[in-house]
Every structure is written in C-alpha cells, then in structure tokens.
Chains A and B, each alone.
Chain A
Amino acid sequence: QVHLQESGPGLVKPSETLSLTCTVSGGSISTYYWSWIRQPPGKGLEWIGYVYDSGSTTYNPSLKSRVSISLGTSKNHFSLKLSSVTAADTAVYYCARAYGSGTYYFDFWGQGTLVTVSS
C-alpha cells in the first residue's frame, strides 16, 4: 500500500519561501505523477502542480511564477517550494499521486500539513 507523508515548517513569514517534502513509501515513484494540492481552511481544493519520474513538471498557471516542484535525490520523495508567500497561501498542503499519463485523478493522498503564513 502506497503511503505519502508531508513534512515541513507549519509557520512561514510573509514574503519568505514555503518548503515542504513528501516522502513516498510502499511503492515506486516511477511511472506516476506526483502532485501538490492545497486547501485553505474551510475552502475547496486547488491543484498546485506535479512532477513526473523523469523530473518534468507542470504547474498551475495561477501559481507558476512562484512554484517549484522537484524529485528528491533518493527518488523516494519530492518537494514543493512556493516563494513570496502571503496570508492567502495559508492552507493545508497535500501531496498526492496521479495514476498515469492522461489519467490525472488522485488515488493516494498524504494526510496533509497545515502551513500558516504569519509574521
């Protein structure tokens, strides 16, 4: 059974960079698409972007100028960086797996981690 776990700071100051890591266990990172999705408190879901096992990425155009998603060197984790954060970036951040090419629904999710942007 694939297991995903997010980790990183729960508090980030305005204008700084939010950095999170998702550790994948119980399955290979190969041939799947690994995404970050966020959910502001009490609101809906917003897809941030994904990285494929080749390292290629696709980002939500609304966040593209501030986002970077990359695979880890050990290939059992991937990371999110979101720069120049504001209070509007406060959300629960989830990592998730999309099944494959052309099939971008999410079959495994992490439990999520709340990131608050505040000074």
Chain B
Amino acid sequence: DIVMTQSPDSLAVSLGERATINCKSSQSVLYSSNNKNYLAWYQQKPGQPPKVLIYWASTRESGVPDRFSGSGSGTDFTLTISSLQAEDVAVYYCQQYYTTLPLTFGGGTKVEIK
C-alpha cells in the first residue's frame, strides 16, 4: 500500500492568515509517462461528505475558491489556504490514485480558527 502521512494533525490559524497542510506519500505518485502527480485534496466539514478541492496535485476543481492551492511533486505535497476564512474550518484529506491497490487517504488535518 502507498501510505499517506499528513502533518500536522491539527492547526489553528487566525482569520485572513495562511494555512499550510503537508502530505507525504510512502512512494512517488508521479507517473513519468505523463508527468502527472496522482494526488487529490478534499475538504470535509462536520456532518458532510468530503468535497474534492484539488486533483493532479495542483488543479483546482471547478467552483473552488482560488485561495486554495496545491503544490508539490513525487512524494511531498502541500495544500495552502492563502487567507483563511471562517467557512474553511474543516478536516482536510489527501488521497493518492497512483495505484488502486488500494486507493489510500491521509489521516486528515483539522483546521480551526485561532
């Protein structure tokens, strides 16, 4: 299995400040033939299903605010919220889809307001 490790487990950020979440995979999720990283980010608010924010490590899903951005390649990835808003309080998960045996998620990072 590709193990996805997120850090930190939780963070508290002031409104309007930057939040940075890290995700590390136990092996590279970069497919050399197309130079794409098979990595997605999700946001999950309490009582709701996850919502995809980013795929291919850095492509924003339609309708996602541009304060959310994804970066990284190979085994190290980052989700950045450039200016935290109250509605961004949630748990964030990364997911690799480089291999389906099995598809795996990170353990989650809880973002709160300081």
Q: Using a Cβ–Cβ cut-off of 8 Å, how many residues does chain B contribute to the interface with A?
A: 22
- Beta-carbon contact of A105 and B40 below 8 Å: yes
Among A45, A50, A59, the residue within 8 A (CB) of B105 is A45
Contacts of B100 in A (CB 8 A): 50, 58, 104
- Beta-carbon contact of A47 and B102 below 8 Å: yes
Which of the candidate stretches B16-24, B47-55, B73-81, B82-90 sits at the interface with the other chain?
B47-55
A78 CB–B CB distance under 8 Å: no
**Residue of B whose beta carbon sits closest to that of A4:** B49
- Beta-carbon contact of A109 and B102 below 8 Å: no
Contacts of B102 in A (CB 8 A): 47, 59-62
Among A44, A45, A60, A103, the residue within 8 A (CB) of B97 is A103
Among A46, A47, A61, A109, the residue within 8 A (CB) of B49 is A109
- Beta-carbon contact of A104 and B103 below 8 Å: yes
**Residue of B whose beta carbon sits closest to that of A104:** B97
- Beta-carbon contact of A105 and B52 below 8 Å: yes
Interface residues on A, range: 20 to 34
A34 CB–B CB distance under 8 Å: no
Cα distance A98–B107 in the bound complex, in angstroms: 20
Knowing A105-B95, A107-B61 are in contact, say whether A46-B52 is a contact too (CB < 8 A).
no
Contacts of A94 in B (CB 8 A): 49-50
Cα distance A58–B48 in the bound complex, in angstroms: 26
A111 CB–B CB distance under 8 Å: yes
- Beta-carbon contact of A46 and B105 below 8 Å: yes
Cα distance A34–B69 in the bound complex, in angstroms: 27
Give 23 CB contacts A-B under 8 Å: A35-B103, A44-B93, A44-B106, A44-B107, A45-B50, A45-B95, A45-B108, A47-B104, A47-B105, A50-B100, A58-B100, A58-B101, A60-B103, A94-B49, A103-B55, A104-B100, A105-B55, A105-B97, A106-B42, A106-B50, A106-B95, A109-B49, A109-B50
Taking beta carbons and an 8 Å cutoff, which residues of A are in contact with B? Answer: 35, 44-47, 50, 58-62, 94, 96, 98, 102-107, 109-112
